[in-house]
A = this chain, B = another copy of it.
């Protein structure tokens, strides 16, 4: 496996802004470790802080529950081919209750969507008037 562009920043070596983010992550997750995404991103403390704050806001319970949000995250990550993201968000989804049967259906939908997206594009299908604006009146 290739190395990251800059080495991960361990807690002991981190400055106070980075440690503050690490502490918030561990508290929010009820864990005592930090995954490598954050440790590598910590080379840029400003982006680390902004990304963590954004992610926490976006993934919080709201009109959609957190497990659905994790499934959407996985669907995007598959379509982009991001191995790290597929694995880390599947782990997060499983921790939130994702079953193997749900995972199988999720992947089937993502596969099918990629196929029909390609078919629509291939045939250059024009948009039906009734679907304009996603079907709003």
Contact = CB atoms under 8 A, between A and B. Distances in A.
A17 to B, nearest CB: 14
Interface residues of A, number: 88
Contacts of A58: 105, 108-109, 112
A77 to B, nearest CB: 6
Q: Which of A55, A59, A84 has the most CB of B within 10 A?
A: A84
B4 A94 contact: no
Interface of chain A, main secondary structure: helix
A1 B2 CA distance: 10
Contacts of A85: 113, 116-117, 120
Contact of A5 (B5, B72, B88, B124): B124
B5 A54 contact: no
23 contacts: A1-B127, A2-B124, A3-B124, A4-B126, A4-B133, A6-B123, A41-B123, A44-B107, A47-B119, A51-B115, A62-B101, A62-B105, A69-B109, A75-B75, A76-B117, A77-B117, A85-B116, A85-B120, A106-B122, A107-B118, A111-B115, A113-B118, A114-B115
